[in-house]
A and B are shown apart, each in its own frame.
Chain A
């Protein structure tokens, strides 16, 4: 079991180690956050929004980056050639799962190459669920004449948080 000499923050031979205390406290805070996530809806909601890049502000989103989230939540995505409402000509009819941060299919290099190389408009739908809470987001990637895309978040989103 844990040895008290591993965690003592000062003794006769040591100067006080505030950095050690700060890191232990920081880890404890994040662990508490993670352990509360299944039971506190607000934490799960903020985490799901983080995954869809839909946090109210960039600062709040960025502040969460140290929270480890490997393969969190059941994240799905689909990509379409036409706006929501058109049923035909769907590029990928089936939802596919993404390991974490499903918005990666838009922003990360592999997703950009796979879905945005054609320089044509695309519509992405992301859906993440966690213990009965679901967040669905739609994005329009509008091709720009100068090259690249402009991202629009479509307001018509479904939440059951």
Chain B
């Protein structure tokens, strides 16, 4: 019996469709990311309607608050349907509509700058791919590919963060000192401000910033090379650390990536001491 067949039987025996479960986890975390932006949506809905900015750079419809309303709600709706449906064509359609709506958010005047929509977009791209493979591919191999793509995407996102920080202003801590240490209302920065002098805060900022640069660089360059489960564990730790040590608004940016990272946990463990028996070659005239 081939190794693939053995693992396939194990998956069936466990009665879990691992790729589908992974797909649903990612859809759920996309919803968490979207609804963490709920306050943004409510305020944007009002402010964009009352303070429109006419800028010829953007097409009219990509400045309209109506577009954001449809894109945000539409994406949330189809992601929710994609999460619960067991009808394959509907799941595929929802995944395409989802990436369409989020693409609009990524280029709209009122939301282009928010990295939440970029990380969700990458999760949607992964979802489109997986939705089209769920009923076609052998489950274990599909789980492995899905996990590989997930860690490749997370590596890219972290590399994107790192590359823009390879500049002296980040190595000195100057940027993050001003953004976080001066007046950011978050537990770690409040604690440091209450207990240390400005000169000491600048030193903290320098090492904090260097830690960010190094972690993002190492993760961006190396995460995708790790085995699936290790990559998932490291990703969850790094992404959670970003939120715990930075600010709560980043939950929306990393929640969907944490879901994507968890795809690695759905890869079945390889059985230890598995012996793969080779089929004896049929005898041919040459070997006789």
Contact = CB atoms under 8 A, between A and B. Distances in A.
* Most B C-beta atoms less than 10 A away, residue of A34, A37, A101: A34
B161 A70 contact: yes
B132 to A, nearest CB: 6
Interface string B71-110: 0000000000000000000000000000000010011011
B47 A74 contact: no
B192 interface: no
A160 interface: no
Contacts of B153: 27
Nearest to A99: B179
B9 interface: no
A19 B43 contact: no
Given A30-B156, A72-B161, A130 B113 contact: no
Given A20-B149, A31-B159, A147 B50 contact: yes
Contacts of B189: none
A154 interface: no
Given A104-B113, A144-B54, A130 B137 contact: no
Nearest to A37: B163
A138 B67 CA distance: 28
Contacts of B112: 65, 101, 107
Nearest to B129: A19
B170 interface: yes
Interface in B128-152: 128-129, 132-133, 136-138, 141, 144-145, 147-149, 152
A48 to B, nearest CB: 10
Contact of A34 (B106, B109, B160): B160
B254 to A, nearest CB: 10
B175 interface: yes
Nearest to A14: B137
B160 A70 contact: yes
A70 B138 CA distance: 36
A100 B115 contact: yes
Interface string A131-152: 1000000000100100111110
Interface stretch (B15-23, B28-36, B223-231, B278-286): B223-231
B25 interface: no
B253 interface: yes
Contacts of B133: 17, 19-20
B58 A58 contact: yes
B71 to A, nearest CB: 13
Nearest to B5: A13
A67 interface: yes
A86 interface: no
B156 A27 contact: yes
Interface string B208-221: 00001000000000
Interface string A77-107: 0000000000000000000111111011011
B138 A53 contact: no
A149 B147 CA distance: 47
Contact of B106 (A5, A19, A65, A110): A65
A104 B40 CA distance: 14
B49 to A, nearest CB: 10
B167 interface: yes
20 contacts: A1-B226, A6-B144, A15-B136, A19-B129, A20-B145, A58-B57, A65-B112, A66-B118, A68-B119, A69-B161, A72-B161, A72-B163, A73-B167, A109-B48, A112-B47, A131-B167, A147-B50, A147-B52, A149-B53, A149-B54
Give 8 closest A-B pairs by Cβ, nearest first. Answer: A72-B164, A68-B160, A74-B169, A101-B113, A148-B52, A104-B113, A6-B148, A97-B178
Given A35-B159, A68-B156, A109-B110, 12 more contacts: A1-B227, A6-B147, A8-B141, A31-B159, A65-B106, A65-B121, A68-B122, A69-B118, A72-B161, A96-B178, A108-B114, A116-B51
